[in-house]
C-alpha cells in the first residue's frame, strides 16, 4: 500500500543507503539478559470443535532494535534457510512526530527511521540492515529502488528479492545479503498491461522456483495476474503470464497509481470468490513442498491454487474461498506452511486472524489472533512466514507497524 513519502534530512537518509552492522550495546543489553528466557503471552485461539491444530504463544520481547530506531509499516517478511528472519519496512510511512531525533536540529530524544531491510538472528538481534537508492542502479535515468516497498523473499541462493507498489514501481529487484544489486525483473516507470512479458505492473510478492530457476510473481497492484520470469538469462522475460483459473490475463489493469486509500474501496465488480478474473489486488504467491502454488486474490476473498505440469507449465488446480462473506480489506493476504508440511496458514487482513488448514485436504482446523494492538493481535496483518521449528512470524502495515514472533507450542 503506497503512502506519501516524507522528506527526511540527508543525515538520516544516509542510513538507508549503507549497510548497518549492529553489534549491540553492553549498557543496553547484558549477556545474561540476552540469554534469559522471556515469558510468553497467550494468543486467542478459535479451534474447530474436535480438530487438533497447532498452538502458539507470543514472544512479546522479540525482536530487539537499537534504542533510537523505529519501524514504519512492515510490509515484507521472509525466513531464510538459516532461520534468520528478514523484514522489509517503510521509513516513508513515519510521520515527523515519530522521528523527532532525525530532524535538523533534533526536536525530540527519539527516534530515527530504521533501514528498509533488516535481518534478525533467531534470537531477535539485528544482524544486517540496509536499503535505499545507493543499492540500485539507474536505468534511463530512473533509480530502481522502489518508491514504496512491498514484498520480500529470500531464496535458497541467498538472494534477497524486493518488490514495490508505489508510483512507477514496476520492478522486482534482487540483492546479496549485504545489499549488493544482482538483477531485476521489470523496470521502474514502465508497464504495459497484463499480457506483456517484459514489464511488470506494481508486483506485490514473489518466490524463486529452484527447479525451474524462475521468479514467480504475484503481479497484482496495477496488473492482475501471475507471471513466471526466466532469471537465468541477461534478458529477463516472462515464460508464462496467467490470470485467474489459469486463463489468459485479459482482465483490466488499475487506472493510475495505487494508493493506500484504494485498499478499502469496493471493487467495481464486488466481492466474488468465483470471479473468472483476478481482483484488483493479487497480493501473495508461495509454493509448498509438493509444488502447489498458492495465489492470494485478496479482494475476492480466495486463494487460487496452481501447479506445474510435466512440461514445466503452470496450470490451475483449485479455487479456495477464505471467509467469503468478509468485506473491507479482504481476507487472503499471505500464506505460509508448517515445516512438516501438515498445515497451511492463511493471513486474513480484515479479520485480523491466521486461519489454519490441513494443507492436503484444506479442511479448516481453526484460527488464532484478532484485530487489536496487544501481543498476538493484528492491525492490517500483512505477511506471515515460518521457521524450521514451526514458529510463526507476522508483520503489520497501516498503523500496525511491527513484526511479531508466535512461538510454536505443539499440536493439540
Extract the C-alpha cell encoding 165.
Answer: 507498489
In the chain, the domains with their CATH numbers are 10-411 (2.120.10.30)
pLDDT tens sequence across 300-347: 999 999 999 999 999 999 999 999 999 999 999 999 999 999 999 999
- Write the DSSP assignment of 246-299 as a string of letters: G----SPPPSS---GGGGSSPPTT---TT-SS--S-EEEEEE-TTSEEEEEEGG
Higher pLDDT, 139 or 18: 139
Is 50 exceeded by the pLDDT of residue 2? no
Q: What grid cell was written down for 157?
A: 541462493
> At 102, phi and psi to the nearest 5?
-85, -5
For 97-147, the pLDDT digits (tens) are 999 999 999 999 999 999 999 999 999 999 999 999 999 999 999 999 999
- Cβ contact 335:294 at 8 Å: yes
Read off the pLDDT band of 412 (50, 70, 90).
very high
Average pLDDT over residues 407-412: 98
Give me the mean pLDDT over the 3-30 stretch.
42
For residue 267, the model assigns a pLDDT of 72
Q: What is the pLDDT of residue 36?
A: 61
Q: Are 107 and 45 in contact (CB under 8 A)?
A: no
pLDDT computed for residue 375 by the predictor: 97
Average pLDDT, integer, range 7-12? 38
Spatial CA neighbour of 222 closest among 188, 273, 245: 188
Q: What is the average pLDDT across 387-395?
A: 98
Predicted pLDDT of residue 4: 38
Helix (H) or strand (E) holding 209: strand 205-209
- CB count in 10 Å sphere of residue 121: 15
27 pLDDT band, cuts 50/70/90, is: very low
- Residue range 7-14: mean pLDDT, rounded: 39
Question: Is it the case that residue 28 has pLDDT exceeding 50?
Answer: no
Q: How confident is the model at residue 18 (pLDDT cuts 50, 70, 90)?
A: very low
The dihedrals phi and psi of 361, each to the nearest 5 degrees, come to -95, -15
CA 10 to CA 320: how far, in whole Å? 48
Query: How far apart, in Å, are the Cα atoms of 237 and each of 35, 309, 398?
Result: 48, 20, 33
Q: Are 82 and 120 in contact (CB under 8 A)?
A: no
pLDDT category of residue 1 using cuts at 50, 70 and 90 = very low
- Assess contact for 56 and 406: CB atoms under 8 A: yes
Phi, psi values for residue 237, rounded to 5°: -135, 160
Report the 10 Å Cβ neighbour count for 80.
18
What mean pLDDT is predicted for residues 194-223?
A: 96
Percent of the chain topping pLDDT 90:
85
- At 254 the pLDDT is 86
Residue 26 has pLDDT above 60, yes or no: no
Mean pLDDT of 345-374: 98
| Number of Cβ atoms within 10 Å of the Cβ of 272 | 16
Q: Which residues sit opposite 287 in a β-bridge? A: 293
Q: Taking every pair of C-alpha atoms in the chain, what is the biggest distance, in angstroms?
A: 62
Share of the chain above pLDDT 70, in %: 91
Using the predicted structure, report yes or no on whether residue 11 has a pLDDT greater than 50.
no
Confidence of residue 266 (pLDDT cuts 50, 70, 90): confident
Q: What is the rounded distance in angstroms from the CA atom of residue 19 to the CA atom of residue 118?
A: 10
What's residue 22's pLDDT?
Answer: 52
Q: How confident is the model at residue 396 (pLDDT cuts 50, 70, 90)?
A: very high
Distance CA 68, CA 126 (A): 13
Whether the pLDDT of residue 222 is over 50: the answer is yes
pLDDT attached to residue 9: 39
Amino acid at each position: 500500500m503506497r503512502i506519501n513519502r516524507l522528506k527526511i534530512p540527508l543525515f538520516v537518509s544516509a542510513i538507508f543507503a549503507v549497510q548497518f552492522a549492529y553489534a549491540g550495546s553492553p549498557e543496553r543489553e547484558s549477556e545474561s539478559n540476552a540469554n534469559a528466557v522471556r515469558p510468553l503471552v497467550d494468543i486467542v485461539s478459535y479451534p474447530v470443535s474436535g480438530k487438533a491444530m497447532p498452538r502458539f504463544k507470543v514472544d512479546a520481547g522479540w525482536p530487539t532494535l537499537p534504542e533510537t530506531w523505529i519501524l514504519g509499516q512492515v510490509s515484507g517478511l521472509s525466513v531464510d534457510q538459516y532461520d534468520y528472519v528478514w523484514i522489509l519496512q517503510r521509513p516513508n510511512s513515519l510521520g515527523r512526530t515519530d522521528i523527532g531525533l532525525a530532524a535538523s536540529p533534533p526536536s525530540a530524544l527519539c527516534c530515527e527511521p530504521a533501514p528498509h531491510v533488516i535481518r534478525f538472528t533467531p534470537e531477535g538481534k539485528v544482524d544486517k540492515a540496509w536499503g535505499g537508492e545507493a543499492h540500485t542502479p539507474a536505468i534511463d535515468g530512473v533509480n530502481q529502488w522502489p518508491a514504496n516497498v512491498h514484498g520480500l523473499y529470500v531464496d535458497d541462493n541467498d538472494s534477497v528479492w524486493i518488490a514495490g507498489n508505489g508510483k512507477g514501481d514496476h520492478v522486482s529487484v534482487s540483492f546479496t545479503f549485504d545489499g549488493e544489486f544482482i538483477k531485476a525483473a521489470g523496470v521502474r516507470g514502465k508497464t504495459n498491461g497484463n499480457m506483456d512479458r517484459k514489464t511488470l505492473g506494481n508486483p506485490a510478492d514473489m518466490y524463486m522456483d529452484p527447479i525451474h530457476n524462475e521468479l514467480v510473481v504475484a503481479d497484482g497492484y496495477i496488473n492482475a495476474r501471475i507471471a513466471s520470469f526466466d532469471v537465468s538469462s541477461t534478458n529477463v522475460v516472462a515464460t508464462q503470464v496467467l490470470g485467474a483459473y489459469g486463463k489468459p490475463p485479459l482482465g483490466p489493469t488499475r487506472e493510475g497509481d495505487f494508493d493506500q486509500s484504494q485498499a478499502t474501496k469496493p471493487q467495481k465488480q464486488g466481492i466474488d470468490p468465483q470471479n473468472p478474473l483476478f481482483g484488483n489486488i493479487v497480493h501473495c504467491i508461495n509454493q509448498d513442498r509438493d509444488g502447489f502454488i498458492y495465489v492470494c486474490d485478496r479482494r475476492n476473498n480466495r486463494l487460487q491454487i496452481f501447479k506445474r505440469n510435466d512440461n514445466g507449465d503452470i496450470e490451475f488446480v483449485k479455487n479456495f474461498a477464505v471467509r467469503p462473506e468478509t468485506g473491507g480489506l479482504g481476507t487472503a493476504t499471505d500464506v505460509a506452511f508448517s515445516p512438516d508440511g501438515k498445515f497451511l496458514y492463511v493471513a486474513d487482513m480484515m479479520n485480523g486472524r491466521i486461519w489454519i488448514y490441513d494443507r492436503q485436504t484444506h479442511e479448516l482446523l481453526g484460527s488464532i489472533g484478532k484485530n487489536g494492538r496487544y501481543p498476538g493481535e493484528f492491525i492490517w496483518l500483512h505477511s506471515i512466514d515460518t521457521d524450521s521449528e514451526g514458529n510463526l512470524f507476522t508483520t503489520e502495515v497501516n498503523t500496525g507497524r511491527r513484526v511479531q514472533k508466535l512461538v510454536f507450542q505443539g499440536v493439540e
